């Protein structure tokens, strides 16, 4: 554990960048094209890997309207799909994690039947594939989809069926994607062990791991220690939402008490990094541990702006952490609420930091290395899908 105070403190990322000489022009250390940045079209075509995406945070607005009509749900703030999409983004753009989470009441409300879950999951896979995502781990909380009488098992089986449908439809449209499910337990509830056992039961049937989510303050991950101990005994994988809004104590508990394989967000690890007067970075013991152990951080830039974990893309800690060689991944979190996609996330980072296709490949390989599927399958995805895809994009300038 770090010897620094572990409470939340204000950090001026702009000051950090200025003192280290970083700016919006930060670029990769190696470039195939020294002056060329990837275009939006290249970013879309680039193979991408997504580790942190919530199923109930990625519905198409039109699907929300359709399902509300079919199920009789009459509490939507808008019934026009375009206006509803705007409402979700504006409601989520509040600067408060708690307010951000309130938007999920509407999406969860229309995801209470088998047919609804199959549809939402299939569309999720299709949408990600169309955006160039080749591998995704999509998470959801089965306990939030029981109001119409479904069992936990029926929820998991419906979502798995939807993902398989979406994969097939994507393939028919010329896209390739593989989707694994992460089962999430809500940290304010008391069903974590039950959901962990469910994840273990379906680990060979489309479920690749476990997660806990929800507001961090007042609900430390150690409340669910029995679930994590169970998963470790079963040699299963799990990630934990930590260091998004609460700070270093959440990260420390997730790692040292619970044994998380990855950190969901982890953005507040920046609180354990000091910048000296000469511009050098001094990592506290927790930050050093995270970097030295190559613990993956599931960064979600746009979502972090909405919940006030960062002030702007240019000031997002991902820029400094990239320079310090933490194992970073880029993710969407909630595509509906953030009005985003993997391509849009990378577009923002390219604009903010001058990232190249080499940088995009670095983030993507990091994510694939950190996925919860077997090693040989991860290696094949890297060598046979990701690297060839980027090599082709990086060679295009030769033929202009």
Residue 317 lies in a domain: yes
Query: pLDDT higher for 24 or 42?
Result: 42
Report the C-alpha gap between 206 and 209 in whole angstroms: 9
- 20-29, 152-161, 277-286, 358-367: least confidently modelled range: 20-29
Check residue 35 and give its pLDDT.
52
Domain around 34: 20-399
Does 10 fall in a domain?
A: no
What does the pLDDT read at residue 4?
47
96-105, 149-158, 290-299, 356-365: the lowest-pLDDT one: 96-105
* CATH of residue 174: 3.20.20.140
For residue 25, the Cα-to-chain-centroid distance in whole angstroms is 25
d(CA 290, CA 199): 26
* Packing angle of the helix pair 152-172, 192-201 (nearest 10 deg): 50
| pLDDT tens by residue, 154-208 | 999 999 999 999 999 999 999 999 999 999 999 988 899 999 999 999 999 999 9
Number of continuous H segments (helices) and E segments (strands) in the chain: 19, 10
Q: pLDDT tier at 26 (50, 70, 90 boundaries)? A: very low
In a domain, 141, yes or no: yes
Reply yes or no on whether 234 is catalytic: no
Q: pLDDT band at 102, cuts 50/70/90?
A: confident
pLDDT surpasses 80 at 94: no
Asked if residue 13 is part of any domain, the answer here is no
Residue 42 lies in a domain: yes
User: Which is catalytic among the residues 123, 126, 137, 244?
Assistant: 244
The total number of structural domains in the chain stands at 1
What residues contact 229, with CB distance under 8 A and at least 6 apart? Answer: none
12 is a domain residue: no
At 370, phi and psi to the nearest 5? -95, 0
**What are the C-alpha distances in Å from 115 to residues 11, 95, 351, 360, 392?**
46, 34, 40, 36, 40
Nearest partner of 113 among 81, 142, 78, 148, judged by Cα: 148
Residue 351 lies in a domain: yes
């Amino acid at each position: 554990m770090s010897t620094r105070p572990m409470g939340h403190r204000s950090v001026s990322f702009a000051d950090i960048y200025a003192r280290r000489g970083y700016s919006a022009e930060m670029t990769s250390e190696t470039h195939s094209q020294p002056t060329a940045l990837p275009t939006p079209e290249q970013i879309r075509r680039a193979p991408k890997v997504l580790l942190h995406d919530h199923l109930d945070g990625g519905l198409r607005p039109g699907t929300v309207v359709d399902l509300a009509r079919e199920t009789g749900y009459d509490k939507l703030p808008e019934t026009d799909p375009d206006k509803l999409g705007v409402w979700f983004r504006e409601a989520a753009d509040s600067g408060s994690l708690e307010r951000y989470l309130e938007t999920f009441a509407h999406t969860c409300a229309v995801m209470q039947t088998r047919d609804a879950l199959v549809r939402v999951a299939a569309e999720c896979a299709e949408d990600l594939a169309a955006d160039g995502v080749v591998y995704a781990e999509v998470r959801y909380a089965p306990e939030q989809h029981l109001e119409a009488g479904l069992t936990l098992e029926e929820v998991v089986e419906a979502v798995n069926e939807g993902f398989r449908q979406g994969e097939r439809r994507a393939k028919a449209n010329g896209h390739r994607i593989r989707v694994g499910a992460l089962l999430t337990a809500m940290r304010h509830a008391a069903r974590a062990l039950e959901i962990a056992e469910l994840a273990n039961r379906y680990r060979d049937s489309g479920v690749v791991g476990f997660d806990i989510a929800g507001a961090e303050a007042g609900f430390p991950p150690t409340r669910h220690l029995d679930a994590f101990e169970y998963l470790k005994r079963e040699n299963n994988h799990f990630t934990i939402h930590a260091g998004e809004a609460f700070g270093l104590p959440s990260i420390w508990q997730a790692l040292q008490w619970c044994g998380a394989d990855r950190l969901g967000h982890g953005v507040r690890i920046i609180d354990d990094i000091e910048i000296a007067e000469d511009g050098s970075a001094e990592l506290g013991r927790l930050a050093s541990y995270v970097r030295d152990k190559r613990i993956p951080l599931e960064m979600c830039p746009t979502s972090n702006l909405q919940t006030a974990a960062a002030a702007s893309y240019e000031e997002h800690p991902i820029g400094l952490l990239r320079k310090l060689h933490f194992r970073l991944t880029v993710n969407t979190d909630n595509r509906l609420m953030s009005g985003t996609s993997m391509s849009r996330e990378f577009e923002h980072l390219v604009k903010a930091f001058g990232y190249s296709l080499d940088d995009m490949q670095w983030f993507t390989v990091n994510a694939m290395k950190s996925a919860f599927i077997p090693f040989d399958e991860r290696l094949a995805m890297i060598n046979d899908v990701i690297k060839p895809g980027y090599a082709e994009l990086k060679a295009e300038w030769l033929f202009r």
